[in-house]
Structure 1
Amino acid sequence: MILNIRIDHKTADIGKIEESTMKMDEIFTKIQEDHEIQEHVQIKTCNRAEIYLVMDDSPLNYHWDGLVVEKNEKALEHVLKLSCGLESMIIGEDQILGQLKDAYKTSVKKMSCGPVLGTVFTKAIHVGQAVRKKTQINQGSVSIGSAAVDLAESVLGDLKCKKVLVIGAGKMGTLVAKALVEKHLKAIVVANRTYDRAVCLAKELGGSAIHFDRLSKAMSDADVVISATGAPHTILTTEKVKLAINPENLKKMVMVDIANPRDIEEDIAKLGVKLYNIDDLRGIADKNKKMRKSKAKKAENIIAEELELLEKSLRHLKVEPIIANIRSQAENIRIRETEKACRMMGDIEGKERIVDDLTKVVVDRVFSDIISNLKEAAENDNEEVLKSAEFLFKKK
């Protein structure tokens, strides 16, 4: 059984996502205690937490409030939609494809991804790339980062004369900074715990970089603060902000927090700051969704076709051990009998290659229909045929 457990922006707000993200490890541990897990891949982004499992078919007797649990076809359909950006808050965004690739690579390194999820994620990445190419669903794509900038602009108006502080120089911080540059803003300050990364990003964008310990000073005269770090804890507390910024500036300031877990303490809003988080980007997301409706429909048609092919490939995996056995046994016999024939013929003046090629062709032709029929039996879930083949071709 292939299982997907998730929480995302469709079913929960950022607070609930944060709570459930922290619980995901506990959930996984509990499932491991009660079930046989063969493979797993975890994905975490600013507005989702997911885990994909290959496990035994025994029932899951759990109730997890707020989590979506889907298996087999539904789980496969979801990961294909996810790779195409159809499950994203910003429809068609490109970042999710990179996040899927990273999650897959990480699981391969940890040796937690085997042939089943390897097939699933390879297909998902391919489909995500193909859909973008065929539908241009990502054309002029808005990212979470650029949506955060648009939100700030909707509150303050034109940002050209404003000073913007970007906290975080990772992938999300980079998206924010690039969105600012596209609006031809010059007063961009980048802060990051690793100063060198802040310098690199600031140089690329024509802004300036600061050390993280100078964050308070940089905030004191900022008009907009957009925070997007990967920190596991709060970066800006109410006390820190209160000490850094005079009360008059606080009332004019806009802060947008697009991190998960959140970087900015909620109580900062009580100081007069206009504080927003990922949940507040939904309006921009809805507008984007309407614009891409026809492209999303084309993407869904492609996904439906690719889902059939993926399910077929997964069924073929069932017979791979049997086919490998057939090929191994046939190859051992072929090599042994070819060598025997060559010895019996004596000196054949270097024409052994002809005999070798001939025996390869004969073996391939003999087993071609058998292998094809086995794959067909797997596609049709014909367990009787598969069990018979397993018995007939098992190694002695």
Structure 2
Amino acid sequence: MILNIRIDHKTADINKIEESTRNMDEIFANIQHDHQVQEYVQVKTCNRAEIYMVLDEAPLHYQWGGLVVEKDEKALEHVLKLSCGLESMIIGEDQILGQLKDAHKVSVKKGHCGPVLDNVFTKATHVGQVVRKKTQINQGSVSIGSAAVNLAESVLGDLKCKKVLIIGAGKMGTLVAKALVEKHLKAIVVANRTYDRAVCLAKELGGDAIRFDRLARAISDADVVISATGAPHAILTREKVNVAVPPENLEKMVMVDIANPRDIEEDVEDLGVKLYNIDDLRGIADNNKKKRQSEAKKAEKIVAEELDLLEKSLQHLEVEPIIANIRSQAEIIRLRETEKAYHMLGDMNGKEKVVDHLTKVVVDRVFYNIIHNLKEAAENDDTEVINSAKYLFKNKT
């Protein structure tokens, strides 16, 4: 069975997401201890944490603690919708597709992804691409990064004369940067633990890069701070901000924290700073959702069609070894008998390809119905036919 456990923006705020992510890691460790987890892929973004796993039986007797738990068809439907941006806070955003690809690659590299989840995530990538090609769900779409910029703009007004500090030069920081470029801003500073990355991003923006140890100085006169690092703990505490920022600047400052876990401690707000996080982007997300309802319906129709194909392909996995064995045995016989025919026919004057093609076609036609019926048996869970095929086509050597 395929199991998906997750926490995301649809069922929790950022506090709950942070708390439940730790809880989910503990539950997953327990499942691995109690059950044979054959494959798994972990997905983590700024507003979700998910684990997909393949195991023999449903794990029981766990206190899920607010996590969403879905299996088989529901889990598959969710990952396809996720790849299309239908499950995102910002409907139609493109970043999730890259995040799913990355999660898939990491799992493959570490040896955690097997044939089932490889099929699932390959299909999810395909569906995400098809939906974006056949619908306009991502046309002019905003990302979490640009939503953060829009939020700051809604508070301060035009940002053209404001100094903006971006903390983090990773994927999310880059999205923020791109959104700022579209606003034609010039006073942009990028801070990152890896200075070279900050330099590269700042160069693209026409802004300045600073080393992380100069962060306090950069904060002191910033109008807007947008933080999106992958740090495991807060990098801006109340004490650090209080020391770095002059009192007269605190109440003018806007900070937007789009990291998970958060980069900025909540009590920074006590200093008078206007502090926002992922939860505060929901209003922008709701407006975006209304604009894309008709495109979302088209996307859901594509998902439904592709889900049916995915389920069939997963059912076919059971008989793939039998089919591979049939093809392997047939190919050995075909090559052997074709070689005999060449010797008997003598000089073929370059027409060997004709004979080779003919034998391939004959073999394919002979086994076409057998393979088709085997796949159909898998779809119908016909174990009698499958077991008979295993016996009939097993190697005798």
The equivalent of 2:10 in structure 1 is 10
Deviations 1:240-268 (A, max 9, x none): 11110122211111111000010001111
> Quick check: 1:349 aligned with 2:347?
yes
The equivalent of 1:282 in structure 2 is 282
Listed as ranges, the matches of 1:313-352 within 5 Å are 313-339=313-339, 345=344, 348-350=346-348
Structure 2's unaligned 5+ residue stretches are none
The equivalent of 2:392 in structure 1 is 392
Deviations 1:154-203 (A, max 9, x none): 11111111111110111111111111121111111111111111111111
1:321 and 1:363 map into 2 onto residues whose CA distance is: 18
1:223 and 1:332 map into 2 onto residues whose CA distance is: 72
Contact 2:97–2:128 (CA under 8 A) maintained in structure 1: yes
> Quick check: 1:149 aligned with 2:174?
no
SS at match of 1:262: coil
1:123 and 1:234 map into 2 onto residues whose CA distance is: 37
Contact 2:169–2:190 (CA under 8 A) maintained in structure 1: yes
Q: CA deviation at 1:314?
A: 1.1
Q: CA deviation at 1:380?
A: 2.1
2:34 and 2:142 map into 1 onto residues whose CA distance is: 42
1:366 and 1:136 map into 2 onto residues whose CA distance is: 45
1:284 and 1:166 map into 2 onto residues whose CA distance is: 20
Q: Which moved more, 1:85-94 or 1:155-164?
A: 155-164
Deviations 1:117-156 (A, max 9, x none): 1111111111111111111111111110111111111111
1:372 and 1:252 map into 2 onto residues whose CA distance is: 69
Contact 2:31–2:59 (CA under 8 A) maintained in structure 1: no
Structure 1 residues 254 and 395, CA gap change in structure 2 (3 angstroms): same
The equivalent of 1:211 in structure 2 is 211
> Quick check: 1:173 aligned with 2:173?
yes
RMSD of the alignment, in Å? 1.6
The one-letter amino acid of 2:48's match is R
SS at match of 1:44: strand
Q: Which moved more, 1:194-203 or 1:43-52?
A: 194-203
The one-letter amino acid of 1:105's match is K
> Quick check: 1:28 aligned with 2:28?
yes
Q: CA deviation at 1:354?
A: 5.4
Structure 1's unaligned 5+ residue stretches are none
The equivalent of 1:112 in structure 2 is 112
> Quick check: 1:122 aligned with 2:122?
yes
Q: How many equivalent pairs are there? A: 394
1:112 and 1:266 map into 2 onto residues whose CA distance is: 37
1:297 and 1:63 map into 2 onto residues whose CA distance is: 35
Q: Which moved more, 1:96-105 or 1:360-369?
A: 360-369
1:183 and 1:271 map into 2 onto residues whose CA distance is: 29
If the length of structure 1 is used for normalisation, what is the TM-score?
Answer: 0.95
SS at match of 1:276: strand
2:2 and 2:326 map into 1 onto residues whose CA distance is: 28
Q: CA deviation at 1:331?
A: 2.5
2:257 and 2:323 map into 1 onto residues whose CA distance is: 53
Work out the percentage of aligned pairs sharing the same amino acid.
81
The one-letter amino acid of 1:320's match is E
1:269 and 1:367 map into 2 onto residues whose CA distance is: 70
The equivalent of 2:132 in structure 1 is 132
The equivalent of 2:195 in structure 1 is 195
The equivalent of 1:226 in structure 2 is 226
The one-letter amino acid of 2:130's match is A
